[in-house]
Structure 1
Amino acid sequence: MQQSPLRPRDLNPTPVSAPRIAVVVPIFRHSVLLAEAIESVLAQRAGFPIQLILVNDGCPHQETDLVCREYALSYPERITYLRKPNGGLSDARNHGIRHALAAWPSVDAIYMLDADNRLRPDAMANAMAALDAHPDAGWIYPNIDMFGLTWAGDYGGDYSLLIHTVMNICEAGSLIRRQVFDAGVCFDTSFKSGFEDWDFFLTAAEAGFRGRNIDNFGFLYRKRAESMLADSERDADAIRSEMRKKHKRLFSPRGLLELEQEEAPRYAIFLADRGEVLLTVDPDAADARRLPAAEFEQLWWRTQTDNSQHHMPPILVMTHSAVLEQLRDARLLHGVLWTMERRLSRHCFTALEIEPREAERIGWSEHEAQGTAGLNAAMLMVRPGTLAAIVRDSSIAWATGIASSPCAMPATLMRLQLPEALFSGRDGLYTSAAHDFVAMTARFHASAHRAALNHSWDWRNADIPWRARTQEISRVPTKADAAYPRVAGGGRDIGFVLPLVEFGGVERVALNTARAMKSAGWRPHLFVLEAQSCQFSAEWRETFESVTFLADANFSTWGPANSNYLGTDVPDWSRFGDQRHATAMLAWLDAVVNFHGGAISGVMGRLKRFGVKTALSLHLSDQSPFRRLVGNTYLGLAFEHAYDLVLPCSEQLGDWCHGMGIPADKIVPLLNAPSFDLPEGALARIEARRALRSPQDPLRVIYLGRLDHQKGVERLISIVEAAGAARLPVEWRLIGKAVLGDNAPEIPPHIAGLLEPPLTTPEGLADAFEWADVFILPSYYEGLPLTILEAMRSGVIPMATDAGAVTEVVRQGENGVVLSQDDTVAEALSALTRLAGDPDLVQRLSARARQDMHGRDWDGAVEPLIERLEIMQAADRRKK
């Protein structure tokens, strides 16, 4: 660090001593009180030299200059006097620090003393002894003992950077190791309205240094009714805003979660079967701490009598290790903990019951549980402070009430339904969480430590109230009822957001995109916005690291709208709704992709400001009753600014996006491909089936998809009926179900008799396409249907209406049949007649369809997205 040029009026720039500590006193308008500060430094009882540096920051009072000169002349070997034009407190401190470091290589530490404060005689000896004893400490900070307006504040306990983000726990009057300044940390001169010291220590912490409190420091803080600090508090919100911008990573949801995991675990997860307690935010984090139950109990009692200095996880969770494993297997552990914690805002308890269901689905429900008998809780979560209140209740009415009727106290009961496959190999399910909690409270209530609760053990006032509610700190950025309990750590996490997960093409695009990203080293996570249950078969469980239901009754994908953009409703929730929980659910991710989530576009701007990369997957425009294009594509245009990337499913849709005003460099086509891999041996069977097809065989025609209006189901019915009336040699298979029930046309009984249930496994889908010669899709509107691509890969001739990007892959008379929107039924009947009578045409179109799909897969489709995301992340790293 370069030495500041000294002016002729600087006195004693080179004293003869070799000081170990330099005390820097910036001075502006404190001329009368200055003498007390100087005398307190001169009176230090230390076994090493201390150099005092007085920095006159352009003070207008002549008395300041007179006092400084008098002392500098009286103590020439101990006091240096520097004068400079007014630059503010930070500039004055930096001026003194630079001078001290340049002038005295012997200085090991620098102490900041404001001109109106003072020190007890042993303060520097005590602080330097602590710095020597703790080489890992970057600075030693005091408790706050005030005079004037008297107050004694206890800032003891382990230093917490997490708590430091919400309150300034380190007074500027701290002894700071030289290495902190050598690392380039200094006071920010842009902070002129207060909190300069708060910003300084946050900067030091980001550089890897940590503080340490000592009880007997000996610092005395002058407190007046009006002061610079009181003035700063009036501008506190603005100053904090500037600090959040400067320390963006530290104040981000991800940064706060990492600190919470490291310093102040949120959950104490009591594992009843092991007699141990897991202290953590993220149960899957490698640094989760495990304690024997007896040791946990001792820690709990210590925090009850000295809770300003010691941390105890504020949220108690009573459960069993087998329950945690089952929730992990279902990919629901983090989502369940998050939802249960949010419900603690309503009640003291949230209980979880788990039950099996036959289908490969997961789902949840919840209701108020007061008065319900026989609570079979696999997990019980307890609101912060509840256990302490129960233990302090001399009547033990709460504990006995819970024991006699587990839900005598108001609680939220969540019921989770899981596939039966997740219950196999487990000897029964733990259902005694509520009863085990009662047993624990009874044990605590009978403890000999309970008598200590009636006594006060410290003369100082506990002045770090956040120590008892650290779980609220990670909520600050989103203001949600709970921060999502996932600590990202290393790796890259990407969220896939869908309103529901059933059998639709959008869901299969999400699944295959996630698969491709997982194979490239990303960790995919599924978020279900509106539905309370979803399909979650083995392939979904194997692909996604987690699944979370938003579980917010206020959210609606396409809810009430009082405004529209180019004719498309803009849901009120996306603009004015309570978005706290949706934001918290996603804010910890590296990237998030919205798959037709409608109103969820409203949170993307906030996520983007948190550093999350946001992408919008586009598939198709819907049609209004008057055939006007509307829907998710137009809503995406309305929120285009909130997205880093737009992912159209076809080149055609990408061109449309550009034509509608989306910048070209935002558009990364994510071209649809077949949504499942063919099972082993399927290719050989397909070749044999096509080669051995007899000219006398009936034409096998298949429909596979949703039985909704969009798909032209009424057209399909007419085509089936017309082919039957014409006695065409056609054999039909109609596979699917209605998903959007309010739009589903009525199916005549004679057609309903042909219907088969939806196919969801690759084996089932491959068998169906292997059977067929023609795949028919008479849709009114589409994107680029996956079923067309899957059919063509198996040599099935696509017969589809000219909708969306169908003609991007289906070429009339070359590899399929394109039907017009105006005369669909007649054209379909004509094409079926021609194909049924021309086996060579069937063979030719089938072969070309297969050839055109060769090499079209999701790894190739997703590669441009992965490359773009990694370029964006690398650019962000360079900015830091």
Structure 2
Amino acid sequence: MQHTLLKPHIMNATPVTAPRVAVVVPIFRHSVLLSEAIESALAQRAGFRIQLVLVNDGCPHPETDEVCHEYALSYPDHITYLRKPNGGLSDARNHGIRHALSTWPSVEAIYMLDADNRLRPDAMSNAMAALDRHPETGWIYPNIDMFGLPWAGDYGGDYSLLIHTVMNVCEAGSLIRREVFEAGVYFDTSFKSGFEDWDFFLTAAEAGFRGRHIENFGFLYRKRAESMLADSERDSDAIRSEMRKKHKKLFSPRGLLELEQQEAPRYAIFLADRGEVLLTVDPDVPDARRISMAEFERLWWRTQTDNSQHHMPPILLMTHSAVLDQLRRARLLHAVLWTMERRLAQQCFAALEIEPRDAERIGWNEQEAQDSTELHAAMLMVRPGLFSDIVRDSSIAWASGVAARPCALPTTLLRLQLPETLFSNGEELYTAAAHDFVGVAARYQASPNRDALAYRWDWRTPDVPWRGRTHEISRIPTKADAAYPRISRDGRDIGFALPLAEFGGVERVALNTARAMKRAGWRPHLFILEAQSCQFSAEWRDTFESVTFLADPTFMTWGPANSNYLGTDVPDWSRSGDQRQATAMLAWLDAVINFHGGAISGVMGQLKRFGVKTALSLHLSDLSTFQRPVGNTYLGLAFEHAYDAILPCSRQLGEWCHAMGIPADKIVPILNAPSFDLPEEAEARLDARRATRSPQDPLRVMYLGRLDQQKGIERLVSIIETTQALRLPIEWRLIGRAVISDSALELPPQISSLLEPPLTTPEGLEEAFEWADVFILPSYYEGLPLTILEAMRSGVIPIATDAGAVTEVLHQWVNGVVLSQSDTISEALTALERLASDPALVRQLSSRARTDMEGRNWNNAVKPFIERFEQLRESRT
């Protein structure tokens, strides 16, 4: 064809030098509009050379080739024309980028100009000046000023990667520093349906680069009723799903929480005693920002004038620094914030009252306070957006209702019971949070800044709506009412999930496993799934970094079930229940162990997808009414796929797991060991006690444990009554209480008179085992009871039924006595009569029991599991 050279434009006035900026224009089916894009690029007023790279991506319109040729011939010093087979938008951009980088080493930045868009004359000069001013910035992005369908969107404010995960704040028409591409960041050619620019900038951010917005960029976006973008929106769910898979760490609950802490703190925690406001997600991170109340007020007003450029924490919390300290000592600070935030989904306010108790327990309850009780609140949390509504209201009277007698506004009141030992002597409880909040609201409402709310201050439409809803972004993966407000920094936060925490064997295994892991550098966290209170003595406080009650009435460890697996009910909650809150509670962790949590197995698969390493601790099978084994062991088989490791308490149970289909390399036994350490002086006392026992001394026999049917209590009663009737030289101690209600259990009066309260301290247990010669346990079913191991360590001879893995440690008439399940009572009586009459045999079995327990401790027991999880942690990182 005949080529007519176009008249050179203003760019000819710039001397021919090495280009500093390359403008890459991918072209497909925009042959007519293309000339407008080229002309706008040629018209740039800049003190540096700009090179245009036109990339014809196999466009089927001959006119595209003609236009590109004519411009390239007319502006040979400023335009390069490349042709290639069609590969899609990403491929065309990458082709032009690679050509520019390899051809002109002088190019410092590349601008992506779509063929149907335009630039104002100073666009490149403005953007390059911003890059020069901010050498730490990876790219400069614009507002969106549209023509065609006119509209102007304000994308101003600090760049937020957190917000970028939910909306594309960076137009492809951004000026991108050369180093971004040299780091290997290019457009992903697998994104054929759109959002490839969104993915590109997320990839750049993951590589350590960040964007910066400028107000006067000079970008013009052609908006039509139908376009590639409109088509992409039709497939947006599928495309977003692919982005989440590609950027898995970024979109994970942990990744989003870290960004929320860095960029958009969730809570504004007013400390009434200090006149300070703490801006944070996690109040314990070292970089939490503290500002004065006056500074907070100034910043808050900035967010109220109808723009989306500024962030302020959306959730306001009124409290006192002493309250934060009390909750930290109780290991409950994060849990309280999380629970209160969840309650804001239904109420305007959530309030906390703290009640000291003399028992070594923590517990909670809640009620609706409106029209029922006055608030004596140690904390008051305000629903997002409500404070702004109060300030805009014509009167403070409505808001004052939260401090009325009784409370006049929709408020959930949480009451927290804490041990008195957590409070300083003479420390007064702060109870004025509601009144202090009303005072702050009144001051803001009286501010002269309120007049500014009546005006619109920007001609563009605020178009980053997530700026005021950043707290909702970290909720997206779990869809919960609140994301748990704790940041895991180094991959060593591990959760221990239990239905309750009392004095049972499973809880003691959890406690000792946590201790061993803490000594190995992990941070244990306790999660109570169903109970509303738990024992919390010093040994628990010293072990666990935090305690959280799930506080979800929809959860039951063993609830209704419409299906079963090998005869064991599979709770409906585990398959179809509302798992959002439980998932959020655990999703921030690096690892979690389920200790007989029943239905909580249902969330483990999702946690595993989030990158949380999961383990299941197994202890025993229960027996059904028909004496069939059922329970957590079988439920564990049903959910085995959701776990990275299975942790049986004995080798025997591990072999059973393998026989039932669990891969061998997934089974990591944590062999039970005594649950408390003996002090050094205890060994000497035990030696003396055993050596000085007189042949005339009665045989001291002890039962220690729960009083329920599983433990064979009716057998025990018969054994005690018969030894008393036979006048055998036996002195009995019966220690324990019913933890799980058993309506069939009723002790005879002469047996009840022997009953002592349960022992809850290592000192008490040590004394009891030091006293005893024999420990008896006539259970119907067991795992590997800790009390047997503790008895043997102290030289106490166990007499126990053949249940669970008892015979793994107990050997007949070598270090104890094993009773059959069929003739338990008579065999126990025979054994007791023989031992009562043979002091030498007592010394022999006692000595061997102590010897067999040497070296059996929790550090050794947990070591293989720690090594396995260290490997899993390293593979994740």
The AA in structure 2 aligned to 1:94 is N
Deviation, 1:221, is 0.2
1:97-176 → structure 2 map (5 Å cutoff): 97-176=97-176
The AA in structure 2 aligned to 1:390 is I
Deviation, 1:873, is 1.4
Conserved? CA contact 2:491–2:873, under 8 Å: no
Cα deviation 1:256-291 (Å, max 9, x = unaligned): 000000000000000000000000000001110000
Partner of 1:822: 822
Partner of 1:370: 370
C-alpha distance in structure 2 between counterparts of 1:79 and 1:287, whole Å: 49
Deviation, 1:424, is 3.3
1:212-291 → structure 2 map (5 Å cutoff): 212-291=212-291
C-alpha distance in structure 1 between counterparts of 2:54 and 2:70, whole Å: 12
Partner of 2:340: 340
Partner of 1:424: 424
Conserved? CA contact 2:646–2:668, under 8 Å: yes
Partner of 1:560: 560
Partner of 1:7: none
Partner of 1:9: none
C-alpha distance in structure 1 between counterparts of 2:405 and 2:491, whole Å: 46
- Is 2:185 the partner of 1:185? yes
Deviation, 1:406, is 6.3
Name the CA shift for 1:402/1:669 in 2 (closer, same or farther; >3 Å).
closer
Conserved? CA contact 2:349–2:381, under 8 Å: yes
Partner of 1:712: 712
Conserved? CA contact 2:709–2:742, under 8 Å: no
Conserved? CA contact 1:17–1:77, under 8 Å: no
Cα deviation 1:3-25 (Å, max 9, x = unaligned): xxxxxxxxxxxx96411100000
Conserved? CA contact 1:708–1:743, under 8 Å: no
Partner of 2:436: 436
The AA in structure 2 aligned to 1:85 is P
Name the CA shift for 1:426/1:607 in 2 (closer, same or farther; >3 Å).
farther
Deviation, 1:374, is 2.8
The DSSP-based 3-state class of the residue aligned with 1:742 is coil
Deviation, 1:556, is 0.3
Deviation, 1:253, is 0.4
- Alignment: residue pair count: 863
Name the CA shift for 1:268/1:218 in 2 (closer, same or farther; >3 Å).
same
Q: TM-score if structure 1 supplies the norm length?
A: 0.97
Cα deviation 1:776-815 (Å, max 9, x = unaligned): 0000000000000000000000000000000000000100
Deviation, 1:491, is 4.8
The DSSP-based 3-state class of the residue aligned with 2:742 is helix
Partner of 2:729: 729
Deviation, 1:743, is 5.4
Conserved? CA contact 1:707–1:744, under 8 Å: no
Partner of 1:503: 503
Deviation, 1:407, is 1.7
C-alpha distance in structure 2 between counterparts of 1:749 and 1:241, whole Å: 67
Partner of 2:550: 550
Deviation, 1:426, is 4.9
Cα deviation 1:173-225 (Å, max 9, x = unaligned): 00000010011100000001000000000000000000000000000000011
Conserved? CA contact 1:614–1:644, under 8 Å: yes
Conserved? CA contact 2:371–2:408, under 8 Å: yes
The AA in structure 2 aligned to 1:110 is I
C-alpha distance in structure 1 between counterparts of 2:463 and 2:608, whole Å: 36
- Is 2:589 the partner of 1:613? no
Deviation, 1:58, is 0.2
Partner of 2:7: none
C-alpha distance in structure 2 between counterparts of 1:337 and 1:466, whole Å: 22
C-alpha distance in structure 2 between counterparts of 1:512 and 1:404, whole Å: 48
Partner of 2:766: 766
Conserved? CA contact 1:813–1:845, under 8 Å: yes
- Is 2:454 the partner of 1:445? no
Percent of pairs identical after alignment? 81
Cα deviation 1:475-494 (Å, max 9, x = unaligned): 01000000000001125000
C-alpha distance in structure 1 between counterparts of 2:348 and 2:403, whole Å: 16
- Is 2:742 the partner of 1:742? yes
Deviation, 1:744, is 5.5
C-alpha distance in structure 2 between counterparts of 1:330 and 1:305, whole Å: 41
Name the CA shift for 1:577/1:500 in 2 (closer, same or farther; >3 Å).
same
Deviation, 1:396, is 2.5
Name the CA shift for 1:432/1:47 in 2 (closer, same or farther; >3 Å).
same
Partner of 2:633: 633
The DSSP-based 3-state class of the residue aligned with 1:31 is coil
- Is 2:195 the partner of 1:195? yes
Deviation, 1:679, is 3.0
The DSSP-based 3-state class of the residue aligned with 1:305 is coil
C-alpha distance in structure 1 between counterparts of 2:837 and 2:609, whole Å: 62
Partner of 1:644: 644
The DSSP-based 3-state class of the residue aligned with 2:751 is helix
C-alpha distance in structure 1 between counterparts of 2:565 and 2:743, whole Å: 23
Q: TM-score if structure 2 supplies the norm length?
A: 0.98
C-alpha distance in structure 1 between counterparts of 2:307 and 2:125, whole Å: 29
Cα deviation 1:447-506 (Å, max 9, x = unaligned): 011111111100000000000010000001000000000001125000000000011000
C-alpha distance in structure 2 between counterparts of 1:649 and 1:425, whole Å: 43
Higher mean alpha-carbon deviation, 298-307 vs 58-67, is at 298-307
Deviation, 1:427, is 1.9
Deviation, 1:338, is 0.3
1:863-878 → structure 2 map (5 Å cutoff): 863-877=863-877
C-alpha distance in structure 2 between counterparts of 1:715 and 1:52, whole Å: 92
Cα deviation 1:144-165 (Å, max 9, x = unaligned): 0000111100000000000000
C-alpha distance in structure 2 between counterparts of 1:632 and 1:290, whole Å: 47
Partner of 1:390: 390
Partner of 1:844: 844
The AA in structure 1 aligned to 2:303 is T
The DSSP-based 3-state class of the residue aligned with 1:304 is coil
C-alpha distance in structure 2 between counterparts of 1:96 and 1:121, whole Å: 22
The DSSP-based 3-state class of the residue aligned with 1:741 is coil
Conserved? CA contact 1:406–1:435, under 8 Å: no
Name the CA shift for 1:145/1:793 in 2 (closer, same or farther; >3 Å).
same
C-alpha distance in structure 2 between counterparts of 1:742 and 1:93, whole Å: 72
Q: Gapped runs of 5+ residues in structure 2?
A: 1-14
1:41-56 → structure 2 map (5 Å cutoff): 41-56=41-56
- Is 2:483 the partner of 1:483? yes
The AA in structure 2 aligned to 1:283 is P
Conserved? CA contact 1:23–1:113, under 8 Å: yes
1:750-761 → structure 2 map (5 Å cutoff): 750-761=750-761
Higher mean alpha-carbon deviation, 19-28 vs 743-752, is at 743-752
The DSSP-based 3-state class of the residue aligned with 2:26 is strand
Partner of 2:82: 82
The AA in structure 2 aligned to 1:182 is E
Cα deviation 1:356-407 (Å, max 9, x = unaligned): 1121100000011102343100000000001100000013232333344462
The AA in structure 2 aligned to 1:78 is H
Partner of 1:64: 64
Cα deviation 1:312-367 (Å, max 9, x = unaligned): 00000100000000000000000010000000001010000000112110000001
Deviation, 1:70, is 0.6
C-alpha distance in structure 1 between counterparts of 2:645 and 2:251, whole Å: 25
Higher mean alpha-carbon deviation, 484-493 vs 164-173, is at 484-493
Deviation, 1:93, is 0.1
The AA in structure 1 aligned to 2:340 is M
The DSSP-based 3-state class of the residue aligned with 2:336 is helix
C-alpha distance in structure 1 between counterparts of 2:465 and 2:283, whole Å: 26
Partner of 2:11: none
The AA in structure 2 aligned to 1:169 is V
Deviation, 1:524, is 0.1
C-alpha distance in structure 2 between counterparts of 1:321 and 1:223, whole Å: 53
Conserved? CA contact 2:307–2:458, under 8 Å: no
Conserved? CA contact 1:512–1:858, under 8 Å: yes
The AA in structure 1 aligned to 2:716 is L
Conserved? CA contact 2:361–2:419, under 8 Å: yes
Name the CA shift for 1:17/1:259 in 2 (closer, same or farther; >3 Å).
same
C-alpha distance in structure 2 between counterparts of 1:202 and 1:743, whole Å: 60
Cα deviation 1:811-835 (Å, max 9, x = unaligned): 0010000000001010000000000
C-alpha distance in structure 1 between counterparts of 2:755 and 2:742, whole Å: 19
